[in-house]
Amino acid sequence: MSECIFCKIRDGEIPSDKVYEDDQVFVFRDIHPKAEVHLLMVPREHIGSLNNLAPQHDGLVAHMLRLLPQLAREQGLDDGFRTIINTGKGGGQEVFHLHIHLLGGSDLPGF
């Protein structure tokens, strides 16, 4: 069994507040939101970080990027949104399953 928190969320072993899923990704609310809206977009495949992306993932990466504005709109973020990808310990990554943070609304901290 996987020890990865996001694989466990994918498999329903850990509950989450899911807002979207398809055959490639799933999206849920961050447990410690840093803004009014704080979603995590995660590929179904366990990919550790940006460091582990290969050409076979090009379609997945494009899918994820193109999905972000759609999700932001659905969350009412008509004015814009912020995306963050932390990579490696030096980049502040805590969960080593690739994910994109989508943040917006009130309480968005300064960058």
Q: Fill in the amino acid letter for 44.
A: R
Contact set with Zn ion (CB under 5 A): 4, 6-7, 46, 97
Q: Which does 78 bind (CB under 5 to 8 A by kind): ligand 5GP, Zn ion, none?
A: none
Burial of 31 (0-12, 13-18, 19+ CB in 10 A): exposed
54-62, 73-81, 86-94, 102-110 -> range binding ligand 5GP (CB under 6 A): 86-94
Residues in the chain: 111
Closest distance to ligand 5GP from the beta carbon of 68 (Å)? 15
What are the catalytic residues?
99
Binding site for ligand 5GP (CB under 6 A): 5, 14, 16, 28-32, 40, 86, 92-95
